[in-house]
């Protein structure tokens, strides 16, 4: 295991605070870290404001701004070849140094949240204290419970989640403080309080939606103050006795917590937050972006495709049979879901981490759907390379994530994106705190018509 001493050296090299204090609270830690980041930004503005960091091409403008380096995002950076790094740490690094739940082996949301916010690895004591704080703040206001219970069961779970999060804005500390008048230098403290409160309440909100839609009349367990965030979430979903599913969801939510700022949901939260909307309004907007078929619905599309393959060619199949099915999919004008990525050009490290989880659990090794996922991975890249129309023929995290949920009995496809929404809050809300701490302005890119673009080209 990577020692704390070696880790601190790596943190200091990536510009995070050099001090590792095992007893400071999250807010106290941020109060130490923020001044150095503010000074770093001030220096960048003063010395490099006119430095060119990239060229904008016509394909960038008409291709969804893909690849344009035009956004500040502190918590993570996505490299096409190396994958995601959280304050310089790879996923394997995080798995070595971030605290787990008592009796567990996987990263938990609290330790990832601390890292994303501060750039530091929390101590066991800090992690447990944060778990306790989230549990104590996790109950929903009665009016939100009533609102969610009034939704028809036919209303999509993601619509319900977004509406529930927006309604929590009623209790926004940032909004209340802003209306009274506070200094800009204090914005981040109220933003942090709101973000912690929202993260704390997401499991109860998401579990209530699951109960109402899929298991009406089933009682919801009370929040256990001694459990971590995901431990409580799994229990409220009705799977608290399934330790392996709980461990999987801990890993899933931590790994999905942040993936740079340019993806649609993270970017939406940043854009709305730049108007000084509170975290509830900002993140509700992000959730509606996540609900789109080209974004958060990917893992359920993978599962549908894998189940369709299994129904057609069986469970115990050869590589050749999978190859034929892949070509059938491609020749039918469809994409192979779970393969390719807007940035990555190698196998997604999150996919690798989830596959390693599967390899370490005998019940998953014996699962027909998980075996099919693994065999598909052994065949698909070569087929996609031969096909020649995919920039990245390797799997992304969605290639396996939903299939594991399905194996463990959480089979309601439409709900999968809600779990994604619970996880993505870690990174999106982290950046809202930093955007206010650094005083970032409202986002306002320049748009062009096609006529204006043609004139510029001439």
What are the two backbone dihedrals, phi and then psi, of residue 395, each rounded to the nearest 5 degrees? -75, 145
Give the C-alpha separation, 73 to 431, whole Å: 7
Residues 358 and 400: beta-carbon distance below 8 Å: yes
Give ∠ CA 136-137-143 in degrees, rounded to 5.
130
Query: What amino acid positions are annotated as catalytic residues?
Result: 295, 341, 398
Residues 8 and 20: beta-carbon distance below 8 Å: yes
Tokens representing 378 are 């052994």
Closest residue by Cα to residue 130 from 149, 116, 148: 116
Q: Is the dihedral of CA 336, 341, 346, 348 positive or negative?
A: negative
Give the C-alpha separation, 192 to 197, whole Å: 9
Q: Which residues touch 150 (CB under 8 Å, ≥6 apart)? A: none
Closest residue by Cα to residue 104 from 324, 257, 251, 262: 251
Q: How many CA atoms lie within 13 A of 288 on its CB side?
A: 14
Give the C-alpha separation, 51 to 71, whole Å: 15
DSSP 238-302: T-TT-HHHHHHHHHHHHHTS---S-SHHHHHHHHHHTTT--HHHHHHHHHHHHTSTTTTTHHHHH
Q: Which residues touch 397 (CB under 8 Å, ≥6 apart)? A: 255, 256, 299, 348, 350, 351, 354
CA torsion 350→355→359→363, rounded to 10°?
110
What are the two backbone dihedrals, phi and then psi, of residue 83, each rounded to the nearest 5 degrees? 90, -160
**Eight-state DSSP code of residue 3:** -
């Amino acid at each position: 295991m990577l020692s704390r001493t070696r880790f601190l050296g790596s943190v200091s090299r990536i510009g995070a605070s050099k001090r590792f204090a095992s007893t400071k609270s999250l807010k106290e830690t941020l109060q130490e870290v923020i001044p150095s980041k503010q000074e770093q930004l001030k220096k960048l503005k003063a010395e490099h404001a006119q430095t060119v960091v990239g060229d904008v091409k016509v394909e960038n403008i008409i291709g969804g701004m893909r690849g344009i380096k035009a956004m500040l995002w502190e918590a993570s950076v996505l490299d096409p070849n190396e994958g995601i790094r959280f304050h310089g740490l790879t996923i394997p690094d995080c798995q070595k140094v971030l605290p787990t739940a008592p009796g567990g082996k996987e990263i938990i949301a609290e330790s990832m949240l601390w890292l994303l916010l501060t750039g530091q690895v929390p101590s066991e004591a800090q992690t447990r204290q944060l778990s306790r704080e989230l549990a104590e703040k996790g109950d929903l206001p009665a009016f939100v419970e009533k609102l969610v219970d009034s939704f028809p069961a036919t209303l999509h779970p993601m619509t319900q989640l977004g509406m529930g999060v927006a309604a929590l804005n009623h209790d926004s500390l940032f909004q209340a403080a802003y209306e009274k008048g506070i200094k800009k230098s204090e914005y981040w403290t109220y933003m942090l309080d709101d973000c912690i409160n929202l993260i704390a309440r997401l499991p109860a909100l998401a579990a209530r939606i699951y109960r109402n839609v899929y298991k009406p009349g089933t009682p919801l367990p009370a929040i256990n103050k001694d459990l971590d965030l995901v431990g409580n979430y799994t229990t409220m979903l009705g799977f608290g006795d399934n330790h392996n599913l709980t461990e999987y969801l801990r890993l899933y939510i931590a790994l999905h917590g942040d993936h740079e700022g340019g993806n649609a949901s993270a970017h939406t939260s940043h854009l709305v937050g730049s108007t000084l909307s509170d975290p509830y309004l900002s993140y509700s907007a992000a959730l509606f972006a996540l609900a789109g078929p080209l974004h958060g619905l990917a893992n359920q599309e993978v599962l549908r495709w894998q189940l369709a393959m299994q129904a057609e060619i069986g469970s115990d199949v050869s590589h050749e049979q999978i190859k034929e099915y892949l070509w059938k999919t491609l020749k039918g004008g469809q994409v192979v879901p779970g393969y390719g990525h807007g940035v990555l050009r190698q196998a997604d490290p999150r996919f690798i981490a989830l596959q390693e989880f599967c390899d370490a659990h005998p019940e998953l090794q014996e699962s027909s759907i998980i075996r099919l996922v693994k065999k598909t991975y052994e065949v698909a890249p070569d087929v996609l390379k031969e096909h020649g129309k995919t920039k990245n023929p390797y799997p992304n995290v969605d290639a396996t994530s939903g299939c594991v949920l399905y194996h463990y009995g959480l089979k309601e496809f439409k709900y999968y994106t809600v779990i994604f929404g619970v996880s993505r809050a870690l990174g999106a809300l982290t950046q809202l705190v930093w955007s206010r701490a650094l005083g970032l302005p409202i986002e306002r890119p320049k748009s062009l018509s096609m006529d204006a673009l043609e004139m510029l080209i001439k």
